[in-house]
Amino acid sequence: MTQSTSLPATYAQMLSTVSEDAKLTMALKDVPMPTPKDDQVVVRIEATPINPSDHGVMFGWASMDKASSKGSGKNTVLSAPVSPAGMGVMKARISQDLPVGNEGAGTVVAAGKDAQGLMGKVVAVMGGGMYAQYRCVPAAMCMPLLPGHTARDGASSFVNPLTALSMVETMRMEGHNALVHTAAASNLGQMLNKICMADGVELVNIVRRQEQVDILKSLGAKHIVNSSSDSFMADLTDAIHATGATLAFDATGGGALADTILTAMEKAAARTPGAYSIYGSVKHKQVYIYGGLDTSPTVLNRSYGFAWGVGAWLLPNFLAKAGPEVGTRLRTRVAKELKTTFASHYTDEISLSEALNADIVARYNAKATGTKFLINPQLPL
């Protein structure tokens, strides 16, 4: 084992806990600095993003509109009540201290004897529990950044880039030819546009506001439809007809959007001679829900025949199904295009303790497009 400098004996780690008495608590805990095993490294986490995909583990089904924080610095504690329905859903995690933070990047400061090659390197990691000052992980989990790339550049190397790439992979694996994407002006949505343009894949972008239309236009997106427009249904059907998209990824999840997309796909299919049977259009039409920006129920009117599906889509499940070769191919592309296709932009950089402040939580939990928070665990608590 080699280590660069003398490491502290303990470090701060953020944990989220749901207690028996229906309360969610998030706090920093001092945990002992581990000694890496032969194939492990200790990464000093220098940049770790707060993504919607982290919110699930952080907040679960707690009533975050009633959240409050107390204490300061490393003793800051965030808490929120949990409804009986929320407790039912979270049964399996009651009384467990769950580490939070899916991904991040930093410098390797200690390495086991088989992982010496990574010593001193800046690496990106998707290992969970990244909202911490340090993290001990298998060397195989680390993606070394190219020379000149910083931890901040690489903090979001996995969730958004691999999700965007995996959407296109899913499209190919399941026999579709084009995509529909909602909340399409998001960081992820912008990456997806760049990927689709580079790969020659047609993409229908659904956004809710004119400024989001403008963002995507400036990227060169061809098909952008605004769900706030009176002509939304007609515009969407036209774009789906033009592209032949029969697969959609929906970040919102709730309400009528999945239903609207399937309805538009069916209307578009009805325009194509031979695509229609008495049981509706023949080609399978699929909407994958990969986020929950809208937590209201998904409502399906089912007026689109008998060849459709709606389901949840989760990156780790997709990667497990696709296999390690696909995973390696996608990660290699991310490392190469980190500052172009997969560049992320952050509006706020905060410390681990600031991430527990109720006012700041309210901001990054608001899911408003345009805010994106980065935690730097090396900032003073």
Give the footprint of its own copies on this chain (CB under 8 A): 56-57, 61, 85, 89, 91-93, 98, 253-254, 259, 267, 270, 276, 278-279, 286, 289, 292, 297-303, 305-314, 316-317
Interior/surface letters 190-202, b for 16+ CB within 10 angstroms, e for the rest? bbbbbbbbeeebb
Q: To the nearest whole angstrom, how small is the minimum distance from the Cβ of residue 198 to its own copies?
A: 28
Spatial neighbors of 190 by CB under 8 A, at least 6 apart, are 215, 216, 219
Q: To the nearest whole angstrom, how small is the minimum distance from the Cβ of residue 302 to its own copies?
A: 6
Overall residue count recorded for the chain in this entry? 381
In what side-by-side order are the strands of the sheet with 77-81?
68-70, 77-81, 23-32, 10-19, 98-99
| Alpha-carbon gap, residue 232 to 267, rounded angstroms | 13
Q: To the nearest whole angstrom, how small is the minimum distance from the Cβ of residue 31 to its own copies?
A: 19
Helices 232-243 & 257-270, crossing angle to 10 degrees?
Answer: 60
| Alpha-carbon gap, residue 319 to 221, rounded angstroms | 27
Smaller CB separation from its own copies, 11 or 288: 288
Smaller CB separation from its own copies, 91 or 218: 91
Smaller CB separation from its own copies, 154 or 292: 292
| Alpha-carbon gap, residue 239 to 258, rounded angstroms | 16
Smaller CB separation from its own copies, 57 or 77: 57
Smaller CB separation from its own copies, 112 or 253: 253
Q: To the nearest whole angstrom, how small is the minimum distance from the Cβ of residue 3 to its own copies?
A: 31
Smaller CB separation from its own copies, 93 or 152: 93
| Alpha-carbon gap, residue 162 to 192, rounded angstroms | 10
- Which DSSP symbol is given to 356? G
| Angle subtended at Cα 159 by Cα 103 and Cα 379, rounded to the nearest 5 degrees | 30
Q: Which residue has the tokens 């706030």?
A: 228
